[in-house]
Chains A and B, each alone.
Chain A
Amino acid sequence: MTNNMDAIVINDISKKYGTTSVLQNISFSVRQGELFGLIGPDGAGKTTLFKILVTLLPADSGQAQVVGRDVVQDYKKLRILIGYMPGRFSLYPDLSVQENLSFFATVFGTTIEANYELIQDIYSQLEPFKNRLAGKLSGGMKQKLALCCALIHKPEVLFLDEPTTGVDAVSRKEFWEMLRRLKERGLTILVSTPYMDEAGLCDRIALIQTGQILAVDTPEGITQSFGKALYAVRAANTYQLIQDLRQAPFTASVYAFGEYLHLTTQSETTTPEQIVAYLQARQHQGLEIKKITPTIEDSFMALMAQQPAA
């Protein structure tokens, strides 16, 4: 395989369940060696797209290739070349840690020893508990074991469907560090997540909502194309502040973001001084306003608001 080849090519994929359209004309590519994020909320179509790419579900129309193999024609060859970690817990709870790993190795005609080097970094944390039943592990440990099981046959492309959903912020960070190290070894990784703050850890991302791709770019590229001035506004009474800003004649959008509200204005000529004056007239205390760089979540919401109804 040449270096500049795309590891995943998705061309105009659509899928319906009954009359419900789940994916609409999805096209994008993932380069070899890329850590690529598919970012979107539940129900956006992420899992359906993953199932199509890992040959478990046929699309209604369109084509997809993974490492140069068609996901329908070449599905048998392809299954050996990819690793897949589904969103739901995919291990056998009544097998031990080691039994699970050895089961997945055997299914792919290999052994734990043959590819141990690839998983060593992650598995070494599990090894002291290798005789514990998988069902008795904590969430973070299950996730690490599932990742080892998806890696044990040394796949070329790794598909991780929401590996960090419901996982606390510290464990999430740890998991992303593991992905970084796998990427450095040359693995192509497609990972989906509903957490917008994880987008910044990817080389490139696709934003997906109600079965449509909103944008594909680097995280910086996405936020740079926000295209409007964005202000962070704070006051002592957040609840009142959000009510007042929603009513304000200059407001285009206002959303809560941590301790600040993020505000865009209808006209680029509105100045921060005008905004402050408006709020001071409404007795706000402790006012602070600053111009800020948009986050992925700002961009996602702006793109969502522009999206034609599905």
Chain B
Amino acid sequence: MEEAVITRKLTKKFGDFIATNEITFTVNPGEIFGFLGANGAGKTTAIRMLCGLLAPTSGEAKVAGYDVYQQSEQIKHVIGYMSQKFSLYEDLTVRENIRFYGGIYGLSGAEIKRQTESILETLSLQPVAHSLVASLPLGWKQKLAFSVAMVHNPKIVFLDEPTGGVDPITRRQFWDMIYQAAHRGTTIFVTTHYMDEAEYCNRVSIMVDGRIQALDTPRALKQTYGVDSMDGVFQILAAALPPNELIVRC
């Protein structure tokens, strides 16, 4: 099977500053891939390049078989994206949000209707289908945002800190949805600051200072660094290098 993501020496510079420095990795189809790193390590820049939103300075990358330089428009059709900061329109209703994203991704009217009913039923959101998203509890919004990011049945979904601030039960329900999606064959590319969630991933990469410092299964990483949790691995890797505090955030 073709890799979901493949990069070779992918680099992005902003002036003199190297945000992403020759990162090379692959993500397998159907894999839950954890993309970790400290604030300012270069994760967001890397994700923006992979989503076809930012042209790399050098290196290569393919997402679902499409080249990030030449085929960024095709990439956008086969990926889903959700972040804690932006995903749904607060001043649209639940139904309107689903219809909007369905339309953006070019689904037919019939498909949008079918997806809407399916999402409302799966998440038990029928009673609030006509409520503004702004009025929903955060946990519901996050689950809806994930479903909307999956509305066009993407091959890969990028989740940028999807569970920040969510209560612990909802956070686990959210991971159930991730597991189910992966089980059906969708590739999951996820960032998080919760180190216990890193353990839920098939493989994890840890970025430090623009580079990928480690990439393996959680268990192998713990063995390599002689610690019993991913938090331990992260503390060793991310604290080992000089503080990267003065980066102008882009």
Contacting residues, chain B, for A300 (C-beta < 8 A) = 168
Inter-chain contacts of A165 with B (CB < 8 A): 164-165
Docked CA distance A294–B233 (Å): 22
A256 pairs with B200, CB closer than 8 A:
yes
Question: In whole angstroms, how far apart are the Cα atoms of A47 and B29 in the complex?
Answer: 42
Which of B1-9, B53-61, B87-95, B234-242 makes up part of the contact surface? B234-242
Choose the segment among A25-33, A169-177, A220-228 that binds chain B (4+ C-beta atoms closer than 8 Å).
A169-177
Q: Is the CB of A169 within 8 A of B168?
A: no
B80 close to chain A: CB less than 8 A: no
Question: Which residue of A43, A138, A171, A304 is within 8 Å of B246 (Cβ)?
Answer: A138
Chain B: interface residue total (CB-CB under 8 A) = 43
With A139-B39, A258-B230 as known contacts, state yes or no: A166 contacts B172, CB within 8 Å.
Answer: no
Nearest B residue to A256, CB-CB: B172
Judge if A167 is at the interface, Cβ distance under 8 Å.
yes
Q: How far is the CB of A71 from chain B (nearest CB, A)?
A: 26
Q: Which residue on chain A has the smallest CB distance to residue B135? A: A20
Cβ of B175 under 8 Å from chain A: yes
Taking the complex as formed, is A268 at the interface, i.e. its CB lies under 8 A from any CB of chain B? no
Q: Is the CB of B168 within 8 A of A41?
A: yes
B96: A residues at CB distance < 8 A: none
**Chain A residues, CB < 8 A from B199:** 258-259
Query: Is B107's beta carbon under 8 Å from chain A?
Result: no
B235: chain A residues at CB < 8 Å are 169-170, 173
Interface residues on chain A, number (Cβ under 8 Å):
41
Chain A residue contacts of B166, Cβ below 8 A: 41-42, 194
Q: A42: which B residues are within 8 A, CB to CB?
A: 138, 165-167
| Cβ–Cβ contact B196 & A258, under 8 A | yes
List of B residues within 8 angstroms of A129 by Cβ: 246
Q: Does chain A have a CB within 8 A of B40?
A: yes
Give chain A interface residues in 244-260, CB to chain B under 8 Å. Answer: 255-259
State in angstroms the CA–CA spacing of A242 and B93 once bound together. 34
Q: For A194, list chain B residues within 8 Å (CB).
A: 164-166
* Choice from A168, A195, A242 contacting B37 with Cβ under 8 Å: A168
Compute how far the CA of A195 lies from the CA of B40 in the bound complex, rounded to whole angstroms: 20
CB pair B164–A166 under 8 Å, yes or no, is yes
Report yes or no: A170 in contact with B165, Cβ–Cβ below 8 A: no
Within 8 A of B (CB), among A22-53: 40-44
Contact in complex: A238, B138 (CB < 8 Å): no
A140 at interface by CB-CB < 8 Å: yes
Residues from chain A with Cβ under 8 Å of B249 in the complex: 138-139
Interface flags for A129-168 (1: CB within 8 Å of B; 0: not) read: 1001000111111000000000000000000000001111
B161 within 8 A of A: yes
Q: Which of B215-250 contact A (CB under 8 A)?
A: 218-219, 229-231, 234-235, 238-239, 243-249
**Those 8 A-B pairs whose CB atoms lie nearest each other, nearest first:** A41-B167, A42-B165, A258-B199, A168-B38, A258-B196, A259-B199, A170-B238, A139-B39
Apart from A209-B167, A239-B179: 17 A-B pairs, beta carbons within 8 A: A41-B165, A41-B168, A129-B246, A138-B244, A138-B245, A140-B40, A165-B165, A167-B39, A169-B231, A169-B235, A195-B194, A196-B168, A255-B168, A255-B169, A257-B196, A258-B229, A259-B219
> Interface residues, chain A, CB within 8 Å of chain B?
40-44, 125, 129, 132, 136-141, 165-173, 194-197, 209, 238-239, 242, 255-259, 297, 300-301, 304-305
